[in-house]
């Protein structure tokens, strides 16, 4: 197809750079069909609830253990720092997204395979150095998730494949830990079959139907109910601790991590696991009715501050009531009796309300590749049921869920949440100009993220996941 002249599009004006698009009228028609921001149905407050519930699940039971291992100073100030670290990483991913999407270029580039040279003009909004450079990159495969598109434009096909693998491993690891936790909670209650495999099958059958929803916005009511039940369970645990508290038990405040690196690794793994929303940034963002970046970042900041405040209060309070804790707090209360059984059942409900918030993004990642980005209810059902039953099988062979979340937190969550965002941002900005201040900040955050991930993961692996519980 011959190239169009400048007068055909730009009214006689010529430009040095051009994009590869079919025709100006076709582009204008396509632009009119693409919304300025693709959004879902969730409000900002509903998104805050969903993000808060995603964080506050089984990890809450390990908070007093994390406080004991990390010491008062690291637990309190380090926890607040990790909350802000999550906000920073989320903002960086949104910044990367804004770099490649402000002119709708990637949508056109993905949808159109015809290579006709069109001069740059204001109608196409392509007079931007960043977009001109991105225009030389082949489009990502149809159905690629938004986070994957960032990796594609920054690192190409190897970057997309690597990030997809890491994200799937991360989400699968979290779901496995959740199912393992529910099986642990059911032990000693009337709802257990007495067989780990049968228990896991029943759990998967209960979670799977909750996960077959269009997007995370549809899980707001489930998240709200889960938060209510979580508060109820923590009240029972606190009440039991007060009732059984003995003055003979001495409570010593450790200001610094116990056993040095060991304490730091256990604290880091448990706390990072409790903030794993960064890989789900675009799932939450795209579920919002008002999905502009400033609105989403503000909602994320509020959610992380709420989570941090609750974590600090819960961790310190329960450590005071259970000073000798060696694992999750449920292991410190008796297995027999009405209240302990009700507490375990309540925590099982909490995890069942949290699991779909992880299964849905994992399913969307896989479904997009199977259906080329199209939403097919049948594929959605098969994939999400498949995720539930695959993770069910894996969970049967995983020892303790505190050990599982320590490893997943140390390696998967910290790598995807704290290393990938600054790395992608640096790669995208270095070739297009970056301020010295931003260069230093993102380099420091990347190095710190890699260091914390490597050291804590190496220590956990050297001791064995089963020994960390």
325-340 residue pLDDT tens: 877 787 777 777 787 7
Given this model, what pLDDT does residue 354 score? 87
Distance between CA atoms of 315 and 70, rounded to whole angstroms?
A: 11
C-beta of residue 387 within 8 angstroms of C-beta of residue 314? no
Q: What is the 3-state secondary structure (H, E, C) of the chain?
A: CCCCCHHHHHCCCCCCCEEECCCHHHHHHHHHHCCCCCCCCECHHHHHHHHHHHHCCHHHHHHHHHHHHHCHHHHHHHHHHHHHHHHHHHHHHHHHHHHHHCCCHHHHHHHCCCCCEEECCCCCCCCCHHHHHHCCCCCCCCCCCHHHHHHHHHHHHHHHHHHHHHHHHHHHHHHHHHHHHHHHHHCCCCCCCCCHHHHHHHHHHHHHHHHCCCCHHHHHHHHHHHHHHHHHHHHHHHHHHHHHCCCCCCCCCCCCCCCCHHHHHHHHHHHHHCCCCHHHHHHHHHCECCCCHHHHHHHHHHHHHHHHHHHHHHHHHHHHHCCCCCCCHHHHCCCCCHHHHHHHHHHHHHHHHHHHHHHHHHHHHHHHHHCCCCCCHHHHHHHHHHHHHHHHHHHHCCCCHHHHHHHHHHHHHHHHHHHHHHHHHHHHHHCCCCCHHHHHHHHHHHHHHHHHHHHHHHHHHHHCHHHCC
420-429 residue pLDDT tens: 899 998 888 8
C-beta of residue 226 within 8 angstroms of C-beta of residue 52? no
Given this model, what pLDDT does residue 243 score? 78
pTM for this predicted structure: 0.74
Positions in the chain whose pLDDT score sits under 50: 1-37, 103-132, 401-402, 465-469
Given this model, what pLDDT does residue 106 score? 41
Query: Could you give the C-alpha distances from 141 to 119, 161, 375, 406, in angstroms and in order?
Result: 26, 11, 16, 34
**Class at the top of the CATH hierarchy for domain 40-100+141-467:** mainly alpha
Other CB atoms closer than 10 Å to residue 375's CB: what's the count? Answer: 12
Given this model, what pLDDT does residue 309 score? 94
Task: Name the phi and psi angles at 258, rounded to 5.
Answer: -75, 135
Given this model, what pLDDT does residue 34 score? 35
Given this model, what pLDDT does residue 110 score? 42
Query: Could you give the C-alpha distances from 307 to 44, 51, 272, 288, in angstroms and in order?
Result: 16, 9, 12, 20
């Amino acid at each position: 197809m011959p190239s169009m002249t400048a007068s055909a599009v730009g009214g006689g004006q010529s430009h040095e750079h051009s994009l590869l698009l079919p025709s100006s009228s076709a582009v204008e028609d396509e632009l009119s069909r693409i919304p300025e921001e693709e959004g879902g149905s969730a409000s900002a407050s509903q998104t805050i609830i969903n993000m808060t519930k995603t964080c506050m699940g089984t990890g809450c039971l390990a908070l007093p253990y994390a406080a004991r291992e990390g010491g008062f100073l690291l637990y309190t100030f380090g926890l607040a720092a990790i909350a802000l670290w999550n906000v920073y990483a989320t903002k960086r991913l949104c910044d990367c997204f804004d770099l490649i999407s402000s002119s709708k270029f990637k949508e056109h580039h993905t949808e159109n395979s015809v290579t006709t040279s069109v001069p740059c003009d204001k109608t196409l909004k392509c007079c931007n150095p960043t977009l001109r450079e991105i225009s030389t990159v082949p489009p990502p495969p149809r159905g690629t998730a938004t986070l994957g598109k960032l990796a594609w434009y920054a690192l190409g096909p190897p970057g997309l494949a690597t990030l997809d693998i890491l994200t799937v491993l991360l989400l699968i690891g979290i779901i496995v830990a959740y199912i393992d936790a529910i099986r642990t909670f059911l032990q000693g209650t009337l709802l257990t079959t007495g067989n780990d495999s049968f228990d896991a099958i029943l759990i998967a059958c209960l979670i799977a139907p909750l996960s077959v929803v269009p997007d995370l916005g549809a899980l707001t009511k489930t998240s709200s109910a889960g938060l209510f039940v979580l508060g109820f369970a923590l009240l029972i645990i606190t009440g039991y601790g007060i009732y059984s508290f003995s003055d003979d038990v001495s409570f010593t405040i450790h200001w610094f991590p116990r056993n040095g690196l060991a304490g730091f690794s256990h604290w880091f793994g448990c706390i990072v696991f409790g903030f794993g929303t960064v890989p789900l940034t675009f799932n939450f963002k795209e579920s919002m009715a008002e999905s502009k970046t400033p609105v989403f970042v503000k909602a994320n900041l509020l959610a992380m501050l709420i989570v941090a405040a609750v974590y600090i209060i819960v961790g310190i309070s329960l450590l005071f009531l259970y000073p000798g804790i060696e694992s999750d707090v449920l292991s410190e209360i008796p297995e027999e009796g009405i209240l302990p059984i009700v507490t375990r059942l309540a925590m099982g409900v909490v995890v069942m309300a949290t699991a779909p918030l992880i299964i849905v993004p994992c399913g969307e990642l896989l479904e997009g590749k199977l259906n080329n980005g199209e939403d097919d209810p049948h594929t959605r059902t098969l994939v999400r049921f498949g995720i539930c039953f695959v993770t069910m099988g894996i969970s049967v062979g995983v020892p303790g869920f505190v050990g599982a979340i320590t490893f997943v937190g140390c390696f998967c969550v910290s790598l995807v949440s704290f290393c990938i965002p600054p790395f992608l941002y640096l790669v995208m900005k270095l070739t297009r100009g970056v301020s010295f201040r931003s260069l230093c900040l993102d380099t420091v955050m990347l190095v710190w993220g890699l260091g914390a991930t490597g050291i804590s993961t190496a220590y956990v692996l050297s001791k064995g996941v089963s020994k960390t519980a």
